[in-house]
Amino acid sequence: MSRAYNFCAGPAALPQAVLEQAQQEMLDYRGLGLSIMEMSHRDNVFVEIAEQAEKDLRDLMGISDDYAVLFLQGGASSQFAMVPMNLLGDGETADYINTGQWSKKAIKEAGRYGNINVAASSEDTNFSTVPLQESWNLSDNPAYVHYCPNETIGGLEYSFVPQVGDTPLVADMSSTILSRPIDVNQYGLIYAGAQKNIGPAGLTLVVIRKDLLGKAANNVPAMLNYQTHADNDSMYNTPPTFAWYLSGLVFSWLKKQGGVGNMGEINQRKAEKLYHFIDHSGLYSNPVEVISRSRMNVPFVLADDRLDKPFLDQAQAAGLLNLKGHRSVGGMRASIYNAVPEAAVDALIDFMAEFEKKNA
Ligand code: PMP
């Protein structure tokens, strides 16, 4: 067996130790004679797994009892609708910051439910910058302010946490959650699809301040109401049990790696190396302003796009997978989440240097 280095944006690389443990526990979970996937979610064994996963996540992120942690389905894309369905009252306005493709999708979806004010946008720089907060035109009394701290496609990351006073701050952390320490207390609601830094696809995480529960209108379906899931420990219906279990293994792995503090330092080093190499090469470039470059998703283009295909073919042959950029922007993208080791980034840089030399 040989495992390649996987730079996929999502579903993304998982820690090998986690996959090995899941493999070991697959057929016969701890002598019970069945797998996790075949067990009732009401079984004490599963309930314990679920509770431990939540506890480990709370430890890792420093989530206090003021917040509910929800293990949902539907992807981050469902949150684009659930956020306004639950937090945007009749006649109220929500503020959104537009910094890329994912912000745009969130804005478009929210527009179905109420008044949306796009308080700032960097579309005019082709999303290569994050608008400084001084330039934002926030509403007088918005229901919440929504932003995407890390734009997975553009590789654009905020270098600051927006300061919005008492207004709930809502963040789509799909591609940045658990990559470094964050102060959860600055947020009203955080959501993330699991398939990058959390676990396999199929699970969506929501961390919501409890005072924001119970605001949905009566016609909001039970499944789309945060209160339903908070009241039922995310087991109102059958949750994605295997994804929840596997995410729990990732949380426990993260704790063993020294938590998000240590992970953040490693991630910083990985990203700095790769950007430094790109900036000093003659063939590769990255368009994002230096202060707003993503530590998780590093897009780059080759000076001659006729080299794109040979680059990708040769990278794959060298065991460096999924470097193709998002279909909407082209070029390349290396996603370097927690489970992508520093050695993978070193191998990528070596390959890129060699490819550049051969094609000079
Ligand atoms: N937001 C961001 C920042 C993302 O990166 C993605 C997925 N790549 C999504 C939302 C959509 O997530 P999902 O596919 O889980 O709906």
Q: What is the pLDDT of residues 288-336, one digit of tens each?
A: 999 999 999 999 999 999 999 999 999 999 999 999 999 888 899 999 9
Q: Model-level pTM?
A: 0.98
Residue with the nearest Cα to atom 10 of ligand 1?
A: 76
pLDDT tops 90 at residue 71: yes
The predicted structure's pLDDT at residue 82? 98
The predicted structure's pLDDT at residue 327? 87
In the predicted model, what is the mean pLDDT of the chain? 97
The verdict on the CB of residue 10 being under 6 Å from ligand 1 is: yes
Tokens of 208: 């919501």
> Amino acid identity of 113?
Y
Averaged over 18-47, what is the pLDDT?
97
Question: Which atom of ligand 1 is least distant from the CA of 193?
Answer: 15
Residue 11: asked if its preceding bond is cis (omega within 30°), the reply is yes
pLDDT tops 90 at residue 285: yes
Looking only at the bridges linking them, the beta strands covering 204-209 and 67-72 are antiparallel
Pick the CATH number of 16-256 from 3.50.50.60, 3.40.47.10, 3.40.640.10, 2.60.40.3140: 3.40.640.10
The verdict on the CB of residue 197 being under 6 Å from ligand 1 is: no
Residue with the nearest Cα to atom 9 of ligand 1?
A: 76
pLDDT tops 80 at residue 37: yes
The predicted structure's pLDDT at residue 196? 98
Nearest to 158 by CA among 97, 233, 199: 97
SS3 284: strand
pLDDT tops 80 at residue 1: no
Decide yes or no: CATH 3.30.70.2190 for domain 258-358: no
Question: Which atom of ligand 1 is least distant from the CA of 10?
Answer: 8
36 alpha carbon to ligand 1 midpoint, in Å?
26
> Which segments of the chain belong to CATH 3.90.1150.10?
258-358
ipTM beyond 0.95? yes
The predicted structure's pLDDT at residue 179? 98
> Which segments of the chain belong to CATH 3.40.640.10?
16-256
For 45, 48, 214, 235, 247, the CA distances from 229, given in Å and listed in that order, are 20, 18, 11, 7, 18
Looking only at the bridges linking them, the beta strands covering 169-172 and 189-193 are parallel
The verdict on the CB of residue 202 being under 6 Å from ligand 1 is: no
Tokens of 304: 């001659």
Averaged over 328-356, what is the pLDDT?
97
Averaged over 105-110, what is the pLDDT?
98
Tokens of 211: 């005072």
The predicted structure's pLDDT at residue 328? 84
Question: Which atom of ligand 1 is least distant from the CA of 173?
Answer: 3
